[in-house]
Amino acid sequence: MEQLRLAPAIFRAANPPGPGDAKVTGAKESCPDASETAAWSEHNPAMPPGAMSSPEEADPESVLASMTARISITTTETSFIIRRLLMLTPALSAGLRRALRSQIMTEVRGARALVTGANGGLGRAIAIGLRAQGAELVVTGRWAGPVEAVAAEVGGRAIVADLADRSQLERILAEAGDLDILVANAALPASGDLGDWEQHQIDRVLEVNLANPIAMTRALLPRFRERGSGHFVYVSSLSGKVASKGASLYSATKFGLRGFAGGLRADVHGSGIGVSVIFPGFVRDAGMFADSGATLPRGVGTVSPEAVTKAVLKAIRADKAEVDVAPISLRAGALIGALAPGLSATVQARVGNGLSEQLIEAQRDKR
């Protein structure tokens, strides 16, 4: 209710007195004009002046009537403020956009970009998209054959490495050379009930999905700061905004990426360094969902790998903090789940078409 109590101050800020305005003394502070006062009187006859007397002087019925009247007054006052703010919204929003618009514009053409997790899938699509815009590519992958094929496709360099092994980080960055862009895309599926996981499997997921991107960022940050440019892109998931059944560990890593990136973005503000997070929904044709062969419930849409690539390019060029890549229904569901996590968990536990079970079974050998 603090916001409602401050409504008169909001009104005064939105409507500063002009040089010709007469100062009215003794007027009710929370009423901005006579028409509003008339509206209050018309809709609140139960509240005469001084009705809210001390508890010792008022009987319970009169106190209740007065409180009801106060609520009506607050509602009327708030309605007026909302109407005024809506009138001002176009100008205010335009001013906010100008004030908050990032001045960082990372040029993709000629930039040297490292894309992790480029054995295929989304990593390959992102590498192809960056190359098409003139970037010089370095790609990493665990398996020599697939990652070397992607490197050949984009005319870049392949680095065969297991990101679960922290000792390989120094070698990866040494071979990658002087980078302008990092796209931390590598991730393990990490589906299944937590009780079914061995601790060494959990450690591996945490390293690949979260700890390695953080460590890689830490290693690159001094050079980016020295140069006053560079861009970090972290490929998260809508599971990084709302948790889902059978994906507690996966969601933990993707939520972690979002939190890390948000804090890092604040840390490097004004330095010329960009930080972005991409939140894909279900991606068809490439990536861990496509590889699982799982069937979505009727009406649940997917996005293409190319749509994710466009989001990455948009994030780099405009320094977008976050970009969702999913149909509107999934984005709305993620928003509702974030606002009401308890309800979301209950619904997921009671309703479903076996999607989580399909994913768990298909991804079990990827732990």
User: Per-residue DSSP letters for 288-342?
Assistant: HHHHHT--PPTT---B-HHHHHHHHHHHHHHT-SEEEES-HHHHHHHHHHHH-HH
- Please report how the helices 60-100 and 7-14 are oriented relative to each other, as an axis angle in degrees rounded to 10: 40
> Measured between alpha carbons, how far is 25 from 170 in angstroms, rounded to an integer?
72
> How many CB atoms are closer than 10 A to CB 182?
24
What are 280's strand-pairing partners?
325
Does 234 participate in catalysis according to the annotation? no
Of these residues, 11, 80, 234, 250, which one is catalytic? 250
HSE-CB at 141 with a 13 A cutoff on CA atoms is: 21
Task: Tell me how far apart the 2 most distant CA atoms of the chain are, in Å.
Answer: 87
> Measured between alpha carbons, how far is 17 from 346 in angstroms, rounded to an integer?
52
Residues noted as catalytic: 250
